[in-house]
Amino acid sequence: MRGMLDTIAESLPILLVPDPTLRAKSLPVGPRDTDTVRGLLPRMFATMYDAPGIGLAAPQIGQKLRFIVVDIQPNETRQPIALINPEIIARSSDLATREEGCLSLPGQFAEITRPALVKVRYLDETGARREIEANGLLAACLQHEIDHLDGVLFVDHLSALKRNMILRRLAKELRQKRDEDR
Ligand SMILES: [Zn+2]
């Protein structure tokens, strides 16, 4: 099973804010999407590891479909997890705050508060039904990536003031980078 994920795959361009695809609600993966998803998963992992990041959602590579990849220890013994149609079925009332960033908002970070524990139901890459209970970094990562499937970004969990500050700073930094690259 690891075999598929170990395949050498080419990474894909990552969409950046304010690309409208990042704000769209993604559709459930259905039987007719299976080939698309199986074809994209190795490339999603490659893109995530190359970035480098610990999670990537399909909308970030321009696919409005509900699947994500995560690996919270990409530099050690890799633990790739592909989650198709992931759904949070339980969340703790306990909250946890950690610093988050996003490959679609490069260089931007903020402290985000979310439920400390979540239970997620999903299909794995073979189509088998699975559940995962997560805490710590994995819980935050899963919630962050599943948010992407509903067009929600980590900055949406901040006050409008903080959010706009980050979005303005990102726009300015991307503009400067474009000017430098010219
Ligand atoms: Zn993200």
For the chain, which residues make up each domain, given as ranges? 2-181
Class of domain 2-181: alpha beta
6 vs 136 pLDDT, higher one: 136
CA of 64 to the centre of ligand 1 (A): 14
Neighbours of 163 (CB within 10 A): 16
3-state class (DSSP) for residue 28: coil
Q: How far is the CA of 85 from the centre of ligand 1 (A)?
A: 17
Distance between Cα 154 and ligand 1 center (Å):
7
Which residues are near ligand 1, the ion (C-beta closer than 5 Å)? 102
Whole-number Å distance between alpha carbons of 24 and 40: 19
Q: Is 173 known to be catalytic?
A: no
Partners of residue 115 on adjacent β-strands: 95
CA distance to 43, 73, 153, per residue, from 49 (Å): 10, 10, 20
Neighbour tally for 73: CB within 10 Å: 11
The model's pLDDT over 61-90, given as tens digits with 9 standing for 90+, comes to: 999 999 999 999 878 789 999 999 999 999
Kindly name the residue from 99, 145, 173, 180 that is annotated as catalytic.
145
As a whole number of angstroms, the distance between CA 105 and CA 147 comes to 14
Q: Is the N-terminal amide bond of 18 cis, ω within 30° of 0?
A: yes
What integer best gives the mean pLDDT of the chain?
Answer: 94
Alpha-carbon span 182 to 175, nearest angstrom: 11
- Determine the average pLDDT of the residues in 113-129: 97
Q: Measured between alpha carbons, how far is 12 from 62 in angstroms, rounded to an integer?
A: 10
- Round to whole Å and give the CA distance between 26 and 146: 10
Please give the model's pTM, rounded to 2 decimal places.
0.94
Joined tokens for residue 68: 């994500």
